[in-house]
Amino acid sequence: MKSSKLSLGPLLFNWDSDKIRDFYFSIADEAPVDCVYLGEVVCAKRLRGKEHLPEIIERLENAGKEIILSGLMLILDDREMKIMEDIVQMSDHYLIEANDLSTISLLREQSQNGHHAIGPFINIYNEASLKYYENGGAKRISLPAELPSSSLRALAKVATSELEVQIFGRLPLAISARCFHARAHKLHKDNCQFICNQDPDGMTVETMEGQNFLTINGTQTMSHTYCNLMAELPELTAMGIKNFRLSPHDIDMVKICKLYRDRLDEKITFETASKTLEGELFNIEFSNGYYHGIAGLALTL
């Protein structure tokens, strides 16, 4: 597993700009990740908190991290399309991760070589769809979180691109034009007051019976549980997947990155890594159900 690469996915939550800067500075200086995704994926209004992006990129590049720029997963108007057009113009210098079909079209038309990455929000469920995107210039593909191991194995057999699987963090499930976060606080989306910044890891949604069920993050719906595929890493690498994504949360992500890196490098056993992770995140529920073809929120060992 020592040839495997570890990446830090795009930040999905609404943090203030100074917190974002400090977070990525620590990732640059201390986290053993090979690749860092940067950019706003969930809500274009949050771009106001990205003024430190140039210095963040410089710090990460000086630390030897590969930078991939992530785009919006839902483009709703001309202003947001213009944002993506501006990002696509940077494709000569950085790999762009498309999370929306219109962004893929822009990259195919405007980028010099057509090469790009595809995020987990694009539906790739079989070999035919994988080949369609690869033939269109996708050189790196982060697969949807709901795929079972049988599908991952089938895709890995025919892939010519680099495949990536999320192995840690809340899973992205859906996106909407409406803002659930604003509505929960009796606000309109156009005057949301950036209320989602009150929940740095999202807002828990409970069932009528009081069971934690989902997490709301602005216009995005996520799993309440944290995906944890640490036990499945040997099987994933054996099937040919070499890129593994950790999703950022408001926890000590440097420690999390080191833990998964040590496990990938076989410096520690699964038992030690699992016990350490549970000790670090003692109040967080884990899941791996999708991988095993059962309910996504389930955990099987």
Taking only the tens place, the pLDDT of each residue in 114-142 is: 789 999 999 999 999 999 999 999 999 99
Confidence of residue 226 (pLDDT cuts 50, 70, 90): very high
- Find out whether 221 and 173 touch, Cβ atoms under 8 Å: yes
Taking only the tens place, the pLDDT of each residue in 51-60 is: 788 999 999 9
Taking only the tens place, the pLDDT of each residue in 147-158 is: 999 999 999 999
Domains of the chain plus CATH, in order, are 5-172+223-292 (3.20.20.70)
Instruction: Report pLDDT for 112.
Output: 60
The residue with tokens 């990536």 is: 164
pTM of this prediction? 0.95
Average of pLDDT values for 44-71?
A: 91
Cα–Cα distances (Å) from 146 to 31, 37, 149, 217, in that order, read 27, 21, 10, 19
Provide the terminal-to-terminal Cα distance of the chain, rounded to the nearest Å.
20
